[in-house]
Chain A
Amino acid sequence: MRRKTLVCSILVALAAVLLYTDITFGTVIYSFNDLLRVVSGEQIPGISFALGELRIPRSLTALACGAAFGIAGSCFQHLLRNPLASPDIIGITSGANAAAVFGIVVLGASGLELSAISVAGGLLTTAVIAAFTWKRGLSLGRLILVGIAFGAMLDAASSWILVHADQWDIQSASRWLTGSLADTQWSDVLLSGIALSIGCIAIAPLSKRLDMLRLGDEIAASLGVRVGASQIAIICVSVTMLSIATSAVGPIAFVSFLSGPIARRISGYGSSALAESTLVGACLVLGSDIIAQHLLTEQMPVGVVTSVIGGPVLMLLMYISTRKGHLE
């Protein structure tokens, strides 16, 4: 418990530092004083707009969406007992994203409506992938294969819609292809914040059951967990959070995949480390956003950075999984 508290406080501090850096750092570097005055509601010409309308919403969205991706990914990885079973690898993020693209381009949706469409898309994709994977039980290998195929199909559908959108604009398209924080507004902050808090409230009572489910279905059942119901509840909550975050910033690659394994590595392997994964997710997106905005010669969408970080880690995890014989 002591280690958990320590790890969590360090992560919270790291997230705070990253958030502060992400907000104040840029072509113009603002002081802490400026930030305080803007937050307290003072109108300062220039600074109020740059901070209040551009940087703060962007950074807060990064924080909330990163956290949501982190929780969702970690829940999936625990339920299926394998780090490779994260929603961005098994095609669920692609489903939420394709629904969001459809909602925006074809139906002209925005705000709450858009989130609802994306959640519906995410849940539907999950159900379909589960149905196609099911064959006298759930096998991880089949899930990954079916998920990758559905992902390819749904990504093709997304790019179809995008290529034929009336106003193809590479900036907004890049959001739906790789995930980007450009043009985030307060409405995005609000939505992803609500999603995150609802998710946290709903996941908190379930986390104990998740810990038991990690021991295996039979053991969990003998400990008094209603296995099927708990699994479905956890999946629904995480897909909902994931989809709302996706409808705000697009499928930021590999965040939901990376958060869980990193969190468990730093917090020891005893617990499900949901809180840690949440914080790691937030730190990942914030840190990648700082890299994407300031440390590269050109501004990049944040998804490009996360996938360049995530790809090698995924290869490493594949290597470890193979050595342990999980993929044979």
Chain B
Amino acid sequence: MHAHTSRSGTKNPRTRLGVICFVVSLVLLVVLALCSIAIGSRPVPLSEVIAVLGDPGASGVAAEAVRLRIPRMVLGVLAGMALASAGTLMQGMTRNPLADPSILGLNGGAAFAIVLSMATVGLSAPIQYVWVGMLGSCIAALGVWALGSLGAKGPSPLKMTLAGAVVAAMLSSLTSAVLLPRIDVISSFRFWQVGGLSGARFSLIVPLLPLFVIGEVMAVWCLPGLNALAMGDDLARGLGSRVRLVRMGAWGASVILSATTTALAGPIGFVGLVVPHAARLIVGSNYKRIFTLSLVFGPILLLASDLIGRVLTRPTDVEVGIVTALIGAPCFIVLARRRNLQQI
């Protein structure tokens, strides 16, 4: 496969497939974005959506509905991109096909830290959540990493997953321990805890936008290094790649991206797991291409899950975190059944 993709140039059928997929999914993403503005407990016809988008002064119920749904759509796109990038980075740097911010404990750590700070210090602004959440996910991720790399042979997908599950189970109990006696915090937290886009507001998203950008830029910087890492640490070092620096960069970027997403939308699982694999199926093992395609696939998966959740139980919503878990877990099982689980 590697020899295949390294013959670069547009004549390569795989590259052409990748380009076609990229364009098609970009179109799909635009359609989904429009749908997620139009569809909801009160459907708004597309023509009205476009009218409202073109005329900021428009009034009426439809216009209000559209205005509420636009931030939700934007958050869906941002969160989808961030989670997919974080997943790609984590899979690349750990060479573990089952890596994902939720499986490796980042989401649980962020959630616990945020709840703890809500309850004890009384933090209430999302920008504060982000810093606390980052601290939490760093600590949790380091714990999972340490636990998963025990033993002579170092980290393996099985040990990492198990370590992540242990840490996540403990953190979620601790989260409920902090939460249960405080009815006031529960009400603001209960939907957030399962992961949802419904609380999206531009006033919350805009201040955090730079973090998304920083995370993605760092991710792009890491990509060549990840390609080298895929050949093994020794070979990568021999090729002049600064292995430790690349790992730290990828680590930092995924922590920033997933903590920011968790602060805004709650812990959303399995997006970071599924998306890079889908991209890998299409474009092969080059991380630059996987990453590019993931940036489109992630938002598609998240917006589609959000739409499914909205349509399935109208007029209420199913939180997007629940839908992604229901979609993502079967993919995880398929991957876990593969014989060559050890390598990507």
Contact surface of A with B, Cβ cutoff 8 Å: 84, 89, 132, 135, 141-142, 144-146, 148-153, 155-157, 159-160, 163-164, 168, 170, 174, 177-178, 253-254, 298-301, 303-304, 307-308, 311, 314-315, 318-319, 322-323, 325, 327-328
Contacts and interface: CB of A to CB of B under 8 A. Distances in A.
Contact of A160 (B98, B152, B322): B322
A295 B319 CA distance: 36
A327 B159 contact: yes
Given A84-B162, A146-B337, A327-B158, A307 B319 contact: no
Interface in B315-330: 316, 318-319, 321-322, 325-326, 329-330
B177 A300 contact: yes
Interface string B305-344: 0000000010010110110011001101100110000000
B151 A322 contact: yes
Interface residues of B, number: 45
Interface in B29-77: none
Nearest to A328: B153
Interface of B: 98, 147, 150-153, 156-159, 161-163, 165-167, 169-170, 173-174, 176-177, 180-181, 183, 186, 190-191, 194, 269-270, 313, 316, 318-319, 321-322, 325-326, 329-330, 332-333, 336-337
Given A150-B329, A253-B173, A318 B150 contact: yes
Given A170-B183, A315-B163, 15 more contacts: A135-B337, A148-B165, A153-B326, A153-B329, A156-B325, A157-B322, A163-B190, A300-B177, A308-B173, A308-B174, A311-B173, A318-B162, A322-B150, A322-B159, A323-B150
Interface of B is mostly: helix
Contacts of A308: 170, 173-174, 177
B337 A298 contact: no
Contacts of A328: 151-153, 156
Given A149-B333, A325-B151, A174 B156 contact: no
A319 B318 CA distance: 38
A168 B190 contact: yes
Interface centre among A163, A178, A299, A301 (most CB of B within 10 A): A163
Interface centre among B158, B186, B332 (most CB of A within 10 A): B158
23 contacts: A132-B333, A132-B337, A141-B158, A142-B336, A145-B98, A148-B165, A149-B330, A150-B333, A155-B325, A156-B326, A156-B329, A168-B190, A177-B176, A307-B170, A308-B177, A315-B147, A318-B150, A319-B150, A322-B151, A325-B151, A325-B152, A327-B156, A327-B162
Interface of A is mostly: helix
B252 to A, nearest CB: 25
Contacts of B329: 149-150, 152-153, 156
A315 B161 CA distance: 12
Contacts of A132: 333, 337
Nearest to B321: A156
A160 B309 CA distance: 10
A268 B157 CA distance: 33
Nearest to A296: B177
Nearest to B171: A311
Contacts of B167: 311
A142 B180 CA distance: 35
B173 A148 contact: no
A164 B177 contact: no
Contacts, number: 130
Contacts of B174: 304, 308
A253 B169 contact: yes
Contacts of B161: 144-145, 148
Contacts of B151: 322-323, 325, 327-328
Per CB-CB distance, the 8 closest pairs between chain A and chain B, nearest first, are A311-B170, A322-B151, A156-B325, A153-B329, A307-B173, A145-B336, A298-B181, A149-B332
Nearest to A134: B337
Contacts of A318: 147, 150, 159, 162-163, 166
A95 to B, nearest CB: 13
Contacts of A145: 98, 157-158, 161, 332-333, 336
Contacts of B166: 311, 314-315, 318
A194 B336 CA distance: 38
Given A164-B316, A322-B159, A300 B180 contact: yes
Given A132-B337, A322-B151, A152 B162 contact: no
Nearest to B191: A163
A157 B190 contact: no
Contact of A174 (B98, B176, B183): B176
B326 A148 contact: no
A153 B156 CA distance: 23
A311 B164 CA distance: 11
A325 B161 CA distance: 16
Nearest to B164: A148
A69 B138 CA distance: 34
Given A148-B161, A307-B170, A163 B176 contact: no
A253 B168 CA distance: 12
Contacts of B163: 315, 318
Contacts of A298: 180-181
Nearest to A159: B194
A304 B176 contact: yes
A163 B319 CA distance: 9
B313 A164 contact: yes
A148 B170 contact: no
Contacts of B330: 149, 153
A149 B336 contact: yes
A141 B160 CA distance: 12
A304 B173 contact: yes
A301 to B, nearest CB: 7
Nearest to B309: A160
Contacts of B337: 132, 135, 142, 146
